[in-house]
Structure 1
Amino acid sequence: MNDIKERIARELIAVRDRSLAYTDADDDLLVNQHSPLMSPLVWDLAHVGNYEELWVLRAAAGITPLRPEIDDIYDAFKTPRKDRPSLPFLRPAEARGYIEGVRGRVLDVLDEVDLEGPSPLHRDGFVFGLVIQHEHQHDETMLATLQLSGQPGLVRDGELPPGGAGGPEEVHVPAGPFLMGTDTLPWAYDNERPATWVDLPGYWIDRLPVGNRAYLAFMEDGGYDDPRWWTPEGWQWRQRRGITAPLFWTSDGGTWHRTRFGRVEPVPMDEPVQHVSWYEADAYARWAGKRLPTEAEWEKACGWDPEARRSRRYPWGEADPGPSLANLGHRASHPAPLGAYPAGASAYGAEQMVGDVWEWTSSWFHGYPGFRSFPYKEYSEVFFGEEYRVLRGGSWAADPAAVRTTFRNWDYPIRRQIFTGFRCARSELV
């Protein structure tokens, strides 16, 4: 049990170091809103502390609230992002002091709590995993905000493996049942549960995410100007917004460039395409004579081991993600070249399914059969329906603590500021 507590303590320290690094900036950068899609950075910073207080100190430990007067300010459901600049949120120095005070008490609770007790919040450190993953998710949101701000300074050029030597364009996933979701991973969210047997027909799925070179071919073939490839809603969105390329791409007439945390550079043709909406991904797939995979198809290709008849925690197995297996944890501020992680392939041979870019699927976000909200409805259940498309896999900005083959993300089909890409699939007989 001490090993689990030591791991939790390390994760708490690591995620807080990350949050503070992303907010180590002038107050003006932190308090201003850089897009109506995003909160001021300092709101995110204090929000993760308030969430930690609510769940670890109050719900799990029964400690008297430290700052109950700020709860409404940091309730994500009370005030939309576009309106948060008008809130009386904590200024940067006060926000840092608040989250530091919360964290000190959280570490005290960790020392004393029984992780084998009857409480489902305590068991296996679930409540600590909840706040660790929540903070990492907000850190990724902070990175998206910083990218939108155009401010330089967060470009990381960490060393990534070179691209692969080539391989098949697609891998085949035979027909048959697989176990989708999980009943066993201790920090899995409610929307990943319960595990459910799903029987799928055979299909093909791209070995790699769609790359910039392939996406540029779609653009040069008039893909943005041909309504045949777009859903009616997607075509209306493209026309209304005047969309002609992925977000942050510009052309000088001969060369495409991208802006990455304030740095303008040529678009690297050997990387997965990034910052595309579901509508754009779907249009590309239609143009290519394919489709987006369903969420179930994506998860089976990523995590199912047909020989062992069980799900893997990661595509390659149970080993923690390392630098030779996946591009996670903001080692570099961009996706790795295509084919960079053959050792991270799934049992079916699909590569780069974890890390690099979140991947759009064709599925709407719904609960699995037998779904039960835990620990609160607002994490998953209120988003179920046909407004949000499911994304899978995690991006270069996602931390390994918040990534696994069963992890589910979701967003509106118009979203492009997040670190999103996709891969295609096709049915066996097509």
Structure 2
Amino acid sequence: MTIETDRLRDRVAAELLRTRERTTLLTEAVDDGDLVRQHSPLMSPLVWDLAHVGSQEELWLVRDVGGRDPLRPELDELYDAFKHARRDRPGLPLLTPVEARKYVAQVRDKALDVLDRARIDDGRRLVADGFAFGMIIQHEQQHDETMLATHQLRAGSPVLAADPPPAVIAPVTGEVLVPGGPFTMGTDTEPWALDNERPAHQVDVPAFHIDRAAVTNGQYAAFIDAGGYDDPRWWSPAGWDHRQAAGLVAPAHWQRDGDGWSATTFGRTARVTPSEPVVHVCFHEAEAYAKWAGKRLPTEAEWEKAARWDPATGRSRRYPWGDETPEPRHANLGQRHLRPAPAGAFDDGASPLGVQQLIGDVWEWTSTDFTGYPGFTAFPYREYSEVFFGPDYKVLRGGSFGTDRNAVRGTFRNWDYPIRRQIFSGFRLARDA
């Protein structure tokens, strides 16, 4: 056993523990009645997410990597996300909160024993560089963000608290020119990158301008006040149909407040902060705003080039600021704050061209449909991403204030239906050069 292997085991163990602490916070913050209640048909009961996290950990780490006997094989179908739609899950014979907590604790004990004993250098792709452990860590972190979104949809008194985001270091306005030419998109070297981020490939992107900051509440309120929701000129046909059918008049959770707007965030209602990125808008709203503003949404390739490409070296970085793992000075991640930070709050996280807050704060809609890269191979199972490929889903990039630092990077790809806005989604604008 090498020193590098020992360090990898220590890192995996630490990340499993840190991630479970957040899962525990999100599920212990409410009583058992709230855990089993469905707060929106778009979301699972929190207790389903909790047991599902344990089920996936058992399947991949305990059974596959560890070769151990199943703990609860009868739970496999019950907590298979593809067997039961979210709206139907409250009617299933789910584990009770007490049973779910006991189950995930038992699974974790066995997973840690597997970590101590398993070879993570035996040549199998699933375990090389601790991939299976990294996949399960990211899976739980993704469900932590999903549970955080469920908390946002929950009615009742506030149960979560966090410090406010940092103040603006310097105001961020305007746009930057990203020169045309090729760059390396995707990755072959990130050890815990998921299949849809692979393989690395060259993409020739024409020159374009991209805004230095995401669209803010103040900017978006101007679109509303200008009648943006009432004018079909700004909307695609599908977007206008959805706006009418869903009765959209403002971002989710906004309410008129005198001559301005308030928003309810995790049970607390306050005036929206004009300098913070707008959040809880769907793709159609983002696209309509962009057309009204005389611009457009960036393509996924444009977004990644703005976030990763270093004009001085021509290489693609892991993050806008370099290859260093995100720290609090770089980005608003990990539920450290419960809302986006104002534009200009993270100068240390800027890209070489001066584009700011590409990581954290809000997931950013792009204009690109979710598809595989050239040479894509599903791994370790098709249901992670391949079954979602096609025109039904749009790509989002960059993570949000609820995304863990392990679950986002310059290559990470998220996707959702263009009508969805329960996610922590916003956008920034681009235009042709």
| Residue 166 (structure 1) aligns with | 171
What corresponds to 2:208 in structure 1?
A: 203
Alignment of 1:25-424 (within 5 A): 25-424=30-429
CA contact under 8 A between 1:53 and 1:102: conserved in structure 2?
yes
Secondary structure class of the residue paired with 1:88: coil
2:21 counterpart residue number: 17
Conservation of the 8 A alpha-carbon contact between 1:251 and 1:257: yes
CA distance in 2, matches of 1:73, 1:20: 21
Residues 321-342 of structure 1: CA deviation (Å, up to 9, x unaligned): 1121100011110001111111
For residues 189 and 229 of structure 1, the distance between their equivalents in structure 2, rounded to whole angstroms, comes to 36
2:431 alignment counterpart: 426
Any conservation in 1 of the 2:158–2:268 contact (CA below 8 Å)?
A: no
Instruction: Say which is worse superposed, 339-348 or 221-230, in terms of deviation.
Output: 339-348
Could you list the per-position Cα deviations for residues 163-212 of structure 1 after superposition, in whole angstroms to 9, with x for gaps in the alignment?
14234410110000000000000000000000010001100000000000
CA displacement at 1:223 relative to structure 2: 0.4
State the alpha-carbon separation in 1 of the partners of residues 288 and 190 from structure 2. Answer: 35
| CA-CA distance at 1:157 after TM superposition | 3.5
Counterpart CA distance in 2 for 1:46 and 1:166 is 44
Question: In the TM superposition, what is the alpha-carbon distance from 1:154 to its structure 2 partner?
Answer: 3.9
2:18 match: secondary structure: helix
Following TM superposition, by how much is the alpha carbon of 1:242 offset from its aligned partner in structure 2, in angstroms? 1.0
SS state of the match for residue 390, structure 2? coil
- Alignment partner, residue 5 of structure 1: 9
- State which drifts further: 151-160 or 396-405: 151-160
TM-superposed CA distance for 1:273, in Å, is 0.2
Deviates more, 1:157-166 or 1:101-110: 157-166
In 1, the alpha carbon distance for the partners of 2:258 and 2:347 equals 36
Cα offsets for 1:109-151 (capped at 9, x unmatched): 1111222211111100000000000000001000111110133
Shift of 1:290: 0.3
Contact 1:155–1:332 at 8 Å: present in 2 too?
no
Output the CA distance in 2 between the equivalents of 1:235 and 1:114.
Answer: 55
Q: Residue 324 of structure 1: SS of its match in structure 2?
A: coil
Structure 1: where are the runs of 5+ without partners? none
1:77-126 Cα offsets, whole Å, 9 max, x none, are 00000000111010001000000000000000111122221111110000
Q: Which moved more, 1:137-146 or 1:253-262?
A: 253-262
Distance 1:169 1:228 in 2: 25
Distance 1:150 1:127 in 2: 36
Displacement, 1:306?
2.4
Please give the TM-score of this superposition, normalised by the length of structure 1.
0.98
CA contact (8 A) 1:191 1:367 kept: yes
- Are the equivalent residues in 2 in contact too, given 1:38–1:82 (CA < 8 A)? yes
C-alpha contact (below 8 Å) 1:302/1:353 kept by paired residues:
yes
Q: Distance in 2 between matches of 1:69 and 1:7?
A: 32
* Contact 1:315–1:345 (8 Å) recurs in 2: yes
Aligned structure 1 segments of 4 or more residues deviating by more than 4 angstroms: none
Alignment partners' CA distance in 2, 1:43 and 1:167? 41
Name the % identity: 59
Quote the offset at 1:311 in angstroms: 1.5
Whether the 8 Å contact between 1:258 and 1:267 is mirrored in structure 2 is yes
**2:202 and 2:114 mapped to 1: Cα distance?**
38
Query: Number of matched residues?
Result: 428
